[in-house]
Amino acid sequence: MDWLALTLAGQSPVSTQGRTAQLSWHWRGPGLLELIPHESCDEAWVISAGVHGDETAPIELLAELTADWLAGRRPLACRLLLILGNPAAMAAGRRYLDLDLNRLFDGPRASDPPGAEPLRARQLEAAVADFWQAAEMPIRRHYDLHTAIRASAHLRFALLPAQENGYDAAMLRWLPSAGIEALVRHSAPGRTFSHFTSARFGAASCTLELGKARPFGQNDLRQFAQVKAALAAGVAADADALAALPQTEPKGYRVSQELRKHSEAFVLHLPAAAANFTAYPQGTLLAEDGPHRYRVQAAREYLLFPNARVAPGLRAGLMLTEIPLSQLADQA
């Protein structure tokens, strides 16, 4: 079964379930595939990609891993839900069709305008809820794989959803094994997929940003070999394989302010080619929108995800300050 090809074509397999020597698989709907190992386990993982349809490298990476698991080329020691988030946008080669899917999770549904993405958000929320309710595993993890729109000073970085306590220690150990170069802690709740799974289900969740968005077939997946190896070792519960991978020493950041677009008068006073994690000194005028002025407040702040083309009401960028990694440790 070619999971990615079927998903892009909007088709279902002839059979919606099957069995291999090491696992059973279940097609749960478009872009939704559940793998259940025959051996008992105590972890339930969700790995998602394609929430933004034009971020193709993680989609191709996840498709390769899925083919390996189905063919028995890689071991599996956890219950696993694989998600291709926005198949219609993937097939169209677009970030989204109507609305940014990664701004639509776990919010006031009545306020969401009509479109393909609000419906898909509800489908993914229900799929994750059904998965973890059926799995009843004490350990829950979710890695949502993305690529950035623009170049970045850190090729691979992780976004940690806002939460009161620190973050899961096992996840913080796994991230350097995956070659992650920076960890960014959100300071306020959001409507992203990883925040939804963290807040609603207590999962150890994060968004992984892996390189730059390119069309299907134009990705050099060798850049992401370490992420692929770390995901494979993680779901195999292979601590030795994880320890054998080169370990990064990621930098820590927290979100210090959001650049919120209130109206179409919003102007971003930054170079169009400014890379993620570019540093700016205190007082720098970053953006303005009518009476709103955004300036660097700390001695130095770092730019992340600037995008003046978002719809009014959404964030048009984040500013970060550096923090010690000790501020991310598990405090539970």
Residue 228, H or E segment: helix 225-235
* Strand-by-strand arrangement of the 292-295 sheet: 267-268, 285-289, 292-295
Q: In whole angstroms, what is the distance from residue 35 CA to residue 145 CA?
A: 18
- SS3 call for 179: coil
Dihedral (CA of 216, 220, 223, 227) sign: positive
Contact 120, 228 (CB under 8 A): no
* Non-local CB neighbours of 162 within 8 Å, separated by 6+ positions: 185, 186, 187, 188, 189, 190, 195
Main-chain dihedrals φ then ψ at residue 35, nearest 5 degrees? -115, 130
Type of residue found at 245: L
Tell me whether residue 209 is one of the annotated catalytic residues.
yes
Among candidate residues 43, 209, 258, 301, the one labeled active-site is 209
Q: Please identify which residue in the block is written with the tokens 């071991």.
A: 75
Q: Which residue, 193, 212, 226, 227, is CA-closest to 54?
A: 212
As annotated, the binding site for Zn(2+) includes: 52, 55, 146
Active site residues per annotation: 209
